Amino acid sequence: MTQPAISRVLAPVVTPFDQQLEVDVNRLISHCQWLIDNNVGLAVFGTNSEANSMSANEKVDVLNRLHDAGLPPSQMMPGTGCCSIDDTVLLTRTSVSLGCTGVLMLPPFYYKNVSDEGLFRHFSEVVERVADDRLRVYLYHIPPIAQVGISLDLIDRLLDAYPKTFAGIKDSSGDWNNTEAMLKRFASRGFEIFSGAETFLLDNCRGGGAGCISATANVHPGPIATLAENWQSDDAVQQQQRLNDIRSAFEGYVMIPSLKAAIAAYSDDDEWIRVRPPLVELDESQRQHLVTTLVERSFEMPGLI
């Protein structure tokens, strides 16, 4: 297994919003602290953070406030990939200057059917403009949502050109064959491969991967982190089954509002229910059904603030 430079498990941290739909930074800090206390790193501004419903300026401001609150940059991997080079560079520079261990970088995702050559030029331009030896980029492959993906040949080319900069990838293709192909081709070069869900965590660890960056690490952090640390233990398969059992309770709903509904219910704080458009919160019956399912499965969120 590759020993990553950061936590083996990270959460794309869900973002609470207030009544004006502004980021509720105090609630966000509390949630980040709870994740850190449960041995999970902070992939703030991920897909599940509703980060692509936030402006670059807003993300810079929030990131500075998380840093000021004392959250450890060594455990942070902010999402910085935007459609424009300018926004991507702004967020990436901010992350590096605050000491974040890495950044999670989407490809530019508006224009479709773009070539590897065009994506290579985009990532190169970002790296050249940031111009900081501390930069560690984790590529973000999530074709179901971004539609624009990261091919194996593109990784190869980026690693050849910038071997110290391109540190790893999050594979949210949902396709184990793709993750396995990445492991076989790149793990031996120290490239850290994170699966995009804990469903593949054990397989990924066994194949030489680094861990996972998963939506449900927002609600089930401790047990996911435990498996990532103890994947060679006798009960690893049972641990994986338990993780799958909990995750499947969320998969009948749109993921982001269901994570927020669980946090709201388990912290008795309805402020957490809110999402930004174009997303819509779960309705009351959906929330009740989700919570009933979780309780039936003896799901807990110990220590949730």
Which CB atom, from 99 or from 118, has the smaller least distance to a copy of itself? 118
Which member of 70, 277, 302, 303 binds a copy of itself (CB under 8 A)? Answer: 277
Region from 2-10, 92-100, 119-127, 132-140 binding a copy of itself, contact rule CB under 8 A: 119-127
Rounded least distance, CB 250 to a copy of itself, Å: 16
- Rounded CA-CA distance 298/265 in Å is 14
- Rounded CA-CA distance 154/116 in Å is 6
Cβ-based neighbour number of residue 268 at 10 Å: 8
Rounded least distance, CB 276 to a copy of itself, Å: 7
Instruction: Tell me the per-residue interface mask from 229 to 268 with a copy of itself, x by CB under 8 A, - otherwise.
Output: ----------------------------------------
Q: Is 58 in the site for a copy of itself (CB under 8 A)?
A: yes
Q: Which of residues 59-98 bind a copy of itself (CB under 8 A)?
A: 82-87, 90
Q: Is 57 in the site for a copy of itself (CB under 8 A)?
A: yes
Is the backbone peptide bond immediately before 278 cis, with ω within 30 degrees of 0? yes
Region from 113-121, 156-164, 243-251, 297-305 binding a copy of itself, contact rule CB under 8 A: 113-121
Contact 196, 170 (CB under 8 A): yes
Q: Which of residues 193-212 bind a copy of itself (CB under 8 A)?
A: none
Which CB atom, from 148 or from 261, has the smaller least distance to a copy of itself? 148
Which member of 37, 68, 118, 284 binds a copy of itself (CB under 8 A)? Answer: 118
Which member of 11, 78, 103, 109 binds a copy of itself (CB under 8 A)? Answer: 109
DSSP string, the chain: ----SS-SEEE-----B-TTS-B-HHHHHHHHHHHHHTT-EE-TTSGGGTGGGS-HHHHHHHHHHHHHTT--GGGB--B---SSHHHHHHHHHHHHHTT-S-EEEPPP-SS-S--HHHHHHHHHHHHHHH--TT--EEEEE-HHHHS----HHHHHHHHHH-TTTEEEEEE-S--HHHHHHHHHHHGGGT-EEEESSGGGHHHHHHTT--EEE-GGGGTSHHHHHHHHH-TTSTTHHHHHHHHHHHHHHHTTS-HHHHHHHHHHHHHT-GGGG---TT--PPPHHHHHHHHHHHHHTT---TT--
Which member of 65, 185, 276, 289 binds a copy of itself (CB under 8 A)? Answer: 276
Which member of 1, 152, 279, 291 binds a copy of itself (CB under 8 A)? Answer: 279
Q: Is 133 in the site for a copy of itself (CB under 8 A)?
A: no
Rounded least distance, CB 25 to a copy of itself, Å: 15
Residue 152, judged by CB atoms within 10 A of its CB (0-12, 13-18, 19+), counts as: middle
Q: Is 158 in the site for a copy of itself (CB under 8 A)?
A: no
Q: Is 18 in the site for a copy of itself (CB under 8 A)?
A: no
Q: Is 115 in the site for a copy of itself (CB under 8 A)?
A: yes
Q: Is 167 in the site for a copy of itself (CB under 8 A)?
A: no
Which CB atom, from 217 or from 275, has the smaller least distance to a copy of itself? 275
Residue ranges binding a copy of itself (CB under 8 A): 21, 47, 52-58, 82-87, 90, 107-112, 114-115, 117-119, 121-122, 125, 144-148, 276-280
